[in-house]
Amino acid sequence: MNIRTGLWTLGVALAASIATAQAGAPTPKRGGTLTYLIPADAPPSFDGHRETTFATVHTVAPYYSVLIRVPPDDPSSTTEFVCDLCTEMPKPTDGGKTYTFKIRPDVKWHDGSKLTAQDVATSWNMIVFPPKGVTSARVSYYSMVDKIEAPDDSTVVFHLKYATTAFLPALADPFTWIYKKEILDKDPHWYEKNIMGSGPFKFVSYEVGQSIKGVRNPDYYHKGQPYLDAIEGIFTPKQSVRTDALRADRAAIEFRGLPPSARDQLEKELGDKITVQDSDWNCGNVLTPNQRHKPFDDVRVRRALALAIDQWHGAPALAKIATVRTVGGIVFPGSPLAATKEELQQIAGYWPDIEKSRAEAKRLLKEAGAEGLKFELLNRNVDQPYKFVGTWVIGEWKKIGLNVEQKVVPTGPWFQNMRAGTFDVAMEANCQSVVNPVLDTGKYLPGKIFPDNYGGYDDQTSIDLYNKMQYETDPKKQRADMRAYEKHTLDEMAHEIVLPYWYRIVLARSYVKGWKISPSHYLNQDLSNIWLDK
Amino acid sequence: MHRYIVKRLLLAIPTLVGAAALVFVLMRLIPGDVCVVRLGAGGTHVDPASVAACHRQLGLDNPWIVQFLDFLWSYCTFDFGISMWSGNPVVQEIGTRLPVSLQIAVMATVIAVLLAIPLGTISALKEGTWLDHVVRVVSIAGIATPSFWLGIMSLILVLNVTSLATGTPWLPPIDYVPPWKDFWRNLSIVALPAITVGYRYSAVTMRITRSAMLEVLREDYIRTARAKGLIEKIIINRHALKNALLPVVTLIGIEFAFLIGGLVITEQVFNLNGIGRLLVQAVQNQDNVLAQALVMLVVAIFIFTNLVVDVLYAWLDPRIRFS
């Protein structure tokens, strides 16, 4: 075979492979109504700026646009962000302190008027600098922002106080919907009870605690989308109802996540009529010893609590029954700033040899005079995965002679006990949306810096290590700084014990196409890329 | 009779005030509050400044006594307040759910009465026979079986039977539609919960009907009626059953009032957005205003139902009316 023949053969093979690949990716079909399940009673309000619950996102996100977002077709990426309302992702200027966004000229509100940069800047000012009487739940995410302005109708400029890698991920927060300036100027609370956005679907009706309905926005600016004619979200707080509804095709998908038992049951009963997408979840349970209570002020006792838990063997076993799976440190395992397995294994609670680890735990308890310690684990009255994980942890502690009772309480008393410091050890949750390691790990700072750290400790070294990491913009150096902060938090001081990360299992009828799972149930919920293959 | 009703209504006022005080205090004894639950709902951090602003906005920073007096005064002026959780008027929140609970309660009561009174009467009349044994087994099983469990089992049965029969599992719709919008769809949604709740309800009523009938059938006046040569049908319907119904009516009244706010788990199993589910949400969310309103509603329903029962007593037993 000569060179020409070889090249020709290669060309044909390449063309064939491209054609095959294209043929393998089916063309989205237009039409149909997607019925999906919202595993909540009802959102407290429709205002994303104000609320923190997924119930608001799953109910209302399809009706709104955002400035930037995680890529809808690759939402599991922890580093990539794309424009929604902007025309292209900007390169920061002024030493990383200024971001200038150009706004698309072809965006219309659902009332037919034109969306401009003034709407975007006003919405963002409401989020970052809420006026008196307006609640914004995420003000603390934007402490780096100095000023937001719209010099003309197509430009929005964010001026930062300092350059930080935390800014873009924070800007892609899925709750940061763009509202109409004219409405906000008249009544900043209007969006709590009303819906009027520029997203892929137009709001039709809402039956409180029952359902929400929307129809396709024909003027949507991402041309060709959305593919669906209509959407209907049905509120179904009970898991058994959701499983049965998927089984009987009363609904096509549930976006938050179901436990492994539901997956196993539906896979067995429905075979290829159901599809499963799963992912590590940027949420995890964290054990917080209360250092205001003796003997938890003793680092030896805290380290013993960590050393007793066999994360490497426990996580895969738990994954069979609970929505947890991957062992990780303070940073979400999929992120470039996360610790590798080898790095984790240097930290108390992650040692590969559990017998050695438990022997050390017993030695530390003896040395601290805390053998056979009896205490209470404060836990939240939520099955998945809180109570499963709590029960597992108590079993692990029993293996070093600790006698622990689980106190399970509803959400209100759970928060109240932690805020008041009336607990021994608390099972907390650290649940975030966009993977933003710098902000996500602020949770482990002492209470005087991060008010809802409930450990009751002060630690200047921790603050210094965090600040060094926070202001570092070189990825390699920042990673090293993160390791130092992590080692100090989990190993040297054992302020917190990070348990296996949650695992998200999303079940859908197999005719639902286009939607991709992400590491958070808050992300990728505008439903614009979903289509029905039936 | 009119004076009696007015007297009973006046007596309801201290009962309502007592219930108001009790629910007010109990709701505030639960640690935490609606602001903390709401702002921390996602498991993310709770910003103390936002919590303080929320407290101010909802008046939770006022002393308890001020909050209680506000609560009493607003009820005196028929202003039932705004839900702390959703910001919607409480009347709207309850108004959306009440028809669902009311429909289930009425349907379950009709099923219960239609089953319980004939079967309880037959069981008493045929005491010791196989028919009596069958009715007793049915009623004891109904009492022993929680209606929510029966609900779950009935759903599984429907899914499996339809799957076996047609190859495609079928389930009643999960989004409630009022009967005036789509009668058949509504019926397919409420039939199973009404039957499962009605069965348990009928089982209790059946037992009471049977024992009351047995007691009445041994009375002297029944023996006298038989001795006079009255036909059995008249003895049973006019003399025995009417008198035996006194405890049965009481039970039906209490059960009906309970069904309005007490079908918490059944409503969840069938995804019905009723009063019971709303009450649980209100307590979980620590929405004091809504929880207080719902408890007051249930108390008012109990008071009203008891009044109706007492009036029915007077109709069933003339001795009560004359005294």
Q: What is the DSSP letter of A139?
A: G
Are B37 and A412 in contact (CB < 8 Å)?
yes
Distances (CA, A) of A207 to A41, A59, A96, B267: 11, 11, 46, 16
Angstrom distance (rounded) from CA B98 to CA B113: 22
Residues of A in contact with B92 (CB under 8 A): 208
Residue B86: closest CA among chain A residues belongs to which residue?
A44
Distance of CA A490 to the CA centre of its chain: 22
Longest dimension (CA), chain A: 82
Contact B168 A133 (CB under 8 A): no
Chain B residues close to A42, C-beta within 8 Å: 86
Instruction: Report the residue from B33, B268, B284 with minimal CB separation from A238.
Output: B268
Local structure of B147: helix, strand or coil: helix
What is the pLDDT confidence band of residue B132, given thresholds at 50, 70 and 90? Answer: very high
Name the token pair of A403.
């006698």
Is it the case that residue A291 has pLDDT exceeding 60?
yes
Q: Closest approach of chain B CAs to the CA of A418, in angstroms? A: 10
B160 and chain A: CB distance < 8 Å anywhere?
no
What's the gap in Å between the CA of B155 and the closest CA on chain A?
8
- Residue B44: the pLDDT is 56
Q: How confident is the model at residue B87 (pLDDT cuts 50, 70, 90)?
A: confident
Q: Are B255 and B204 in contact (CB under 8 A)?
A: yes
The complex's ipTM works out to 0.82
Contact A46, A60 (CB under 8 A): yes
pLDDT in tens, A390-421: 999 999 999 999 999 999 998 878 888 888 89
B157 to chain A: closest CA residue: A244
Q: Alpha-carbon distance A414 to A224, whole Å?
A: 47
Q: Cβ separation of A137 and B269 shorter than 8 Å?
A: no
Per DSSP bridges, beta strands A33-38 and A98-102 are: unpaired
Per-residue model confidence as pLDDT tens digits over B195-251: 999 999 999 999 999 999 999 999 999 999 989 988 988 999 888 888 888 889 888
Residues of B in contact with A417 (CB under 8 A): 31
pLDDT, one tens digit per residue, over A426-437 is 999 888 899 999
Instruction: List the structure tokens of A216.
Output: 């396709």
Of B286, B202, B216, B203, give the one whose Cα is nearest residue B246.
B216
Q: Enumerate the residues of chain A whose CB falls inside 8 A of the CB of residue B34.
A: 412
Distance CA B141, CA B200 (A): 9
Name the residue of chain B whose CA is nearest to A386's CA: B43
Tell me the residue type at A296.
F
Strongest mean pLDDT among A6-15, B34-43, B304-313: B304-313
Nearest-CA distance from A377 to chain B in Å? 17
Please judge whether A412 and B33 are an interchain contact, meaning their C-beta atoms are less than 8 angstroms apart.
yes
Chain B segment 25-54 residues within 8 A of A by beta carbon are 30-34, 36-50, 53-54
Asked if B57 lies within 8 A of A133 by C-beta distance, the reply is: yes
| Residue A27 DSSP symbol | P
> If pLDDT is split at 50, 70 and 90, which confidence band does A21 have?
very low
Cross-strand pairs, A207: A211
Using a CB-CB distance cutoff of 8 angstroms, which residues of chain A are in contact with residue B192?
none
Mutate to test the interface with A, among B30, B38, B45 (most CBs of A within 10 A): B45
Q: Does the pLDDT value for residue B140 go beyond 60?
A: yes
Determine the angle formed by the axes of helices B275-284 and B288-316, rounding to 10 degrees: 140
The helices-and-strands tally (H runs, E runs) of chain A is 17, 17
Taking residues A168-188, what's their average pLDDT? 96
Asked if pLDDT for residue A80 goes beyond 60, the answer is: yes
- Binning pLDDT at 50, 70 and 90, where does residue A18 land? very low
Please report the pLDDT score of residue B41 as a whole number.
62
**Element (DSSP H or E) covering residue A155:** strand A155-160
Q: Which chain A residues have a beta carbon less than 8 Å from that of B171?
A: 244-245, 247-248, 250
Among A160, A141, A181, A108, smallest CA distance to A443 is for A141
Tell me the average pLDDT of chain A.
92
The pLDDT value recorded for residue B43 is 55
**DSSP secondary structure letters along B200-244:** HHHHHHHHHHHHHHHHHHTSHHHHHHHHTT--HHHIIIIIIIHHH
Tell me the pairing of strands A211-216 and A201-207: antiparallel
Identify the pLDDT of residue A44.
86
Tens of pLDDT, residue by residue over A358-396, are 999 999 999 999 999 999 999 998 888 999 999 999 999
Percent of chain B with pLDDT over 70: 96
B57 in contact with chain A, both atoms CB, cutoff 8 A: yes
Report residue A243's pLDDT band, with 50, 70 and 90 as the boundaries: very high
Give the start-to-end residue ranges of the domains of chain B.
Answer: 2-76, 93-316
Q: What is the pLDDT of residues A430-460, one digit of tens each?
A: 888 999 999 999 999 998 888 778 999 999 9
pLDDT at B47 over 90: no
Residue contact B270–A414, C-beta within 8 A: no
- Give the H/E segment covering residue A263: helix A260-270
Beta-ladder partners of A151: none
Question: Using the 8-state DSSP alphabet, how is residue A92 labeled?
Answer: P
Do B288 and B71 contact (CB within 8 A), yes or no? no
Per the prediction, chain B carries an average pLDDT of 88
Euclidean distance between CA atoms A319 and A502, whole angstroms: 9
Count of all residues that appear for chain A in the document: 534
Would the CB atoms of A238 and B96 count as touching at under 8 Å? no
Our CA dihedral for B126, B129, B135, B141, rounded to 10 degrees, sits at 140
The two structure tokens encoding residue A206: 């809402």
Which residues of chain A does B168 touch, with a Cβ-Cβ cutoff of 8 Å?
249
Nearest by CB to residue B159, choosing from A207, A247, A429, is A247
Q: Would the pLDDT of A100 be above 70?
A: yes
The answer to whether B28 touches B288, Cβ cutoff 8 Å, is yes
Tell if the CB–CB gap between B42 and A238 is shorter than 8 Å: no
CA atoms of A413 and A419, how far apart (whole Å): 10
Q: Sort B63 into a burial class: Cβ within 10 Å, 0-12 / 13-18 / 19+.
A: exposed
pLDDT at B121: 93
State residue B76's pLDDT score: 86
- Residue written as tokens 């610790």? A339
Q: Where is pLDDT greater, at A274 or B3?
A: A274
- Predicted local distance difference test score (pLDDT) of residue A188: 94
| Residue A303 to chain B, least CA–CA distance (Å) | 25
B201, A260 contact by CB (below 8 A): no
- As beta bridge partners, residue A324 has A502
CATH 2.40.30.130 for domain B93-316: no
pLDDT at A78: 83
Residue A7 pLDDT exceeds 80: no
DSSP-assigned states of every residue in B20-58 = HHHHHHHHHHSSS-HHHHHHTTTSS---HHHHHHHHHHH
Report which of residues A139 and A296 the model is more confident about. Answer: A296
What is the rounded distance in angstroms from the CA atom of residue A224 to the CA atom of residue B211?
A: 72
Assess whether pLDDT exceeds 70 at residue B90: yes
